[in-house]
Amino acid sequence: MKKVLMHCCCAPCFITIQEDISQNGMLINGQRVPVEMTAFWYNPNIHPKAEYDRRLDSFIKFCEMKEQDKVILDEYDLQGFTRDVVEQVGEGKKWDIRCKYCYYRRLEAAFKYAAENGYDIVSTTLTRSPFQNHDAINFVAELLSKKYGVDYVYSDYRHTYYEGQKKAREYGLYMQKYCGCVFSFDAGKWVY
């Protein structure tokens, strides 16, 4: 059975993915296959610290409700994240848009952990949101797949976005109002 490390941006995005994969297996190369999935938390970009804590607590609560295996790399790093955005994002720099850097930083931790701990596949809940840049996520994940020698499986769960929000409310989980980083935070509005 394949071992999957699922990078999780938040509990609401993980709900429908976790339930689908647990019940139906993971869609790999057009076929549903049973997998052993571990949820992986690494989101040092989330701002402010109180928001980070609420999202992490909600993630833990959901994983405990579902008896879902999890790994938590608990690192809040506003200063490092913003410094790296300034240094690495923009014309002539490593990343052309800030979100690519953000995806890279978070997914690199997942791929590194997966490679060091015997996982076969990395995937991410970022691909559940219609507000995320799926092309950029896939570009970054493919780079990291080659770098770390761990397969990447893209799963498009955008069709479950509103169902996941509804279930999060039913489960009493925290529902954020913006992507997460200081640049996307504007009085609780989504800003990209």
The predicted-structure confidence for 104-134, as pLDDT tens digits, reads as follows 999 999 999 999 999 999 999 999 999 899 9
The predicted-structure confidence for 66-107, as pLDDT tens digits, reads as follows 999 999 999 999 899 999 998 999 898 998 888 999 999 999
With contact defined as beta carbons under 8 Å apart, do 181 and 46 qualify?
yes
Q: Which residues contact 2 (CB under 8 A, 6 or more apart)?
A: 26, 28, 33, 35, 36, 120, 121
With contact defined as beta carbons under 8 Å apart, do 164 and 15 qualify?
yes
With contact defined as beta carbons under 8 Å apart, do 11 and 58 qualify?
yes
Domain regions of the chain by residue span: 2-190
pTM: 0.94
Residues 2-190, CATH architecture:
3-Layer(aba) Sandwich (3.40)
With CA atoms as reference, report the closest residue to 125 among 2, 4, 1, 3.
4
Return the DSSP state at 149. Answer: T
